[in-house]
Amino acid sequence: MASEKDVTSGMNPIEKLPCEIRWAKVDDWKPAMMMVWKTFMKFESPDYSQKGIKEFFEFITDDDIYKAFLKGTYRMMVAVDGDRIIGVCSLRNINVISLLFVDEEYHRQGVGRALLERFEKHVKEKEGEYFIKVNAAPYAVGFYEKLGFTATAAEQDKGGIRITPMEKVL
């Protein structure tokens, strides 16, 4: 797993974020997933069926994903304000964003953008990949478009979860 220094090196010193961004630690998992769930329910669940909501909950509470996190094969960064996790970005399969959530109180403050930029840098410099993918939820499509992602297919329904496949060349 990369060190914290790897994540923040090259950071613009003028950048003013309300948080620190770092690789997640074992103790971050539960509060991170609680923040993800709370944010999902507020912003995403209105666009999902009950089946989709259940699928998402099962995904973030699945023991296999947690075990992959512990092994370092499901990488996650967190944005932390004091001792509070306010943002999460996770990566699977080297260059696929799995989760990107920011606590409601911190929306539109650059936290999501900063998390994504750190992962883009990691994917390009440490993994040698030149593109990054995401299956964007309806609420997030505009956010990803603003950051240079383009849809690679029309919106799809995967087990009740609505997604738009998107990617960005790094």
Domains, the chain: 18-169 (3.40.630.30)
What is the crossing angle of helices 50-60 and 29-39, to 10°? 170
Tokens of 121: 């840098």
Single out the residue of 86, 76, 79, 75 nearest to residue 21, CA to CA.
Answer: 79
Separation between Cα atoms, residue 33 and residue 118, nearest integer Å: 20
Strands 161-169 and 150-151: antiparallel
Separation between Cα atoms, residue 22 and residue 125, nearest integer Å: 17
Q: What is the pLDDT of residue 9?
A: 40
Single out the residue of 167, 168, 162 nearest to residue 56, CA to CA.
Answer: 162
In the chain, count of helices (H) and strands (E)?
6, 8
Indicate the DSSP class of residue 127: T
Q: Could you say which residues of the chain have pLDDT below 50?
A: 1-14
Separation between Cα atoms, residue 62 and residue 130, nearest integer Å: 30
Q: What is the pLDDT of residue 10?
A: 43
Tell me which H or E stretch contains 53: helix 50-60
Q: What is the pLDDT of residue 15?
A: 56
